[in-house]
């Protein structure tokens, strides 16, 4: 079985490379965004026709949430046109597409976890382009799994956990917002879930295509997340909670973006780690 991974230099791509040796039955093909530019349809066709992959995991994305507000064309090119290009080549070769989306497709107005059937209403360019990317895939190729996730962190790439650890080495005091609620997602857990979906679908192709939520279990604020990061790593620092209003950003964040994982757990028999336990296991 051949699985082609785009955006392999990012957090998820590197997490997939990390766990790949656990799955000798899969031939992974890892392409960085420099090696495979998903915004270039011709390049996509060339590489896909060469390898004829059974599955494609699209881990390539424009994820700079605030920067997207001033670079809407670039975000659209990668998150929408890139996603559509992959869906087109996957359709030509009957390749099943697994595409990563985000909790930012929601406005955060709810007070209970979001399900896959809740109406998206993004409040910024990043969320809007990710939603348009979902729609482009849905309108192009039926054999897709769109996985919405949230607050991704890992030992790889840039993320909140690594930022906190860096700041702790530079400062005595840090302020973190405590009124945005969501769920951290260990990218290695996400990568493992994607492989589980692939193995399940490969054994018994079904009509289970569509949108799924995946994050770790539980919920917290960014302040709670930071607190746990420092606790797990044995770091003593003056951590102060602040309101979102005290930390203005170009892009508005969802106030509440916890995702309901019932569908993915029931469909693929997944057991999902609590975010605290998963963070503990990842201790750097």
The DSSP code sequence of 144-200 is EEEEEE-SEE-SSSS-HHHHHHHHHHH-SEEEEE-S-EE--EEHHHHHHHHHHHHHH
Q: Note if 126 is an active site residue.
A: yes
Over the range 117-131, which residues count as b (16 or more CB within 10 Å of their CB) and which as e? eeebebbbbbbbbbb
- The contacts of residue 52 (CB under 8 Å, 6+ apart) are 2, 93, 95
Sign of CA dihedral 166, 171, 177, 183: positive
Q: Quote the crossing angle between the two packed helices 160-170 and 222-232, to the nearest 10°.
A: 60
CB-CB contact of 78 with 39 (8 Å): yes
- The contacts of residue 143 (CB under 8 Å, 6+ apart) are 90, 91, 94, 95, 96, 97, 209
Which residue in 31, 126, 153, 212 is the catalytic one?
A: 126
Backbone angles phi, psi at 22, to 5 degrees: -75, -10
Count of alpha carbons within 13 angstroms of residue 279, beta-carbon side: 27
- At 82 the three-state DSSP class reads helix
The kind and range of the H/E element at 47 are helix 41-51
**Residues with catalytic function:** 126
């Amino acid at each position: 079985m051949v699985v082609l991974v785009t955006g392999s230099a990012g957090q998820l791509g590197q997490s997939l490379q990390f766990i790949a040796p656990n799955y000798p039955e899969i031939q992974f093909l890892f392409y960085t965004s420099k090696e495979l530019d998903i915004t270039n349809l011709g390049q996509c066709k060339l590489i896909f026709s060469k390898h004829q992959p059974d599955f494609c995991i699209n881990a390539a994305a424009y994820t700079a949430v605030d920067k997207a507000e001033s670079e809407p064309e670039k975000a659209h090119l990668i998150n929408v046109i890139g996603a559509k290009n992959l869906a087109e080549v996957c359709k030509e070769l009957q390749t099943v597409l697994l595409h990563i989306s985000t909790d930012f497709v929601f406005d955060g107005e709810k007070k209970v976890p979001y399900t896959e059937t809740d109406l998206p209403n993004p409040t910024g360019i990043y969320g809007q382009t990710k939603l348009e990317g979902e729609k482009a895939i849905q309108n192009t190729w039926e054999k897709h799994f769109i996985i919405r996730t949230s607050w991704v962190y890992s030992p790889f790439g840039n993320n909140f956990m690594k930022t906190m650890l860096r700041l702790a080495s530079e400062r005595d005091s840090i302020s973190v917002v405590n009124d945005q609620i969501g769920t951290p997602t260990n990218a290695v857990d996400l990568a493992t879930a994607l492989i589980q979906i692939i193995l399940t679908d490969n054994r018994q192709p079904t009509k289970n295509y569509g949108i799924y939520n995946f994050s770790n279990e539980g919920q917290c604020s960014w302040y709670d997340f930071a607190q746990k990061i420092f606790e797990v790593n044995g770091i003593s620092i003056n951590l102060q909670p602040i309101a979102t209003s005290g930390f203005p950003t170009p892009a508005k964040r969802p106030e509440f973006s916890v995702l309901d994982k019932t569908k993915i757990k029931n469909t693929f028999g997944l057991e999902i780690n609590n975010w605290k336990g998963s963070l503990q296991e990842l201790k750097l």
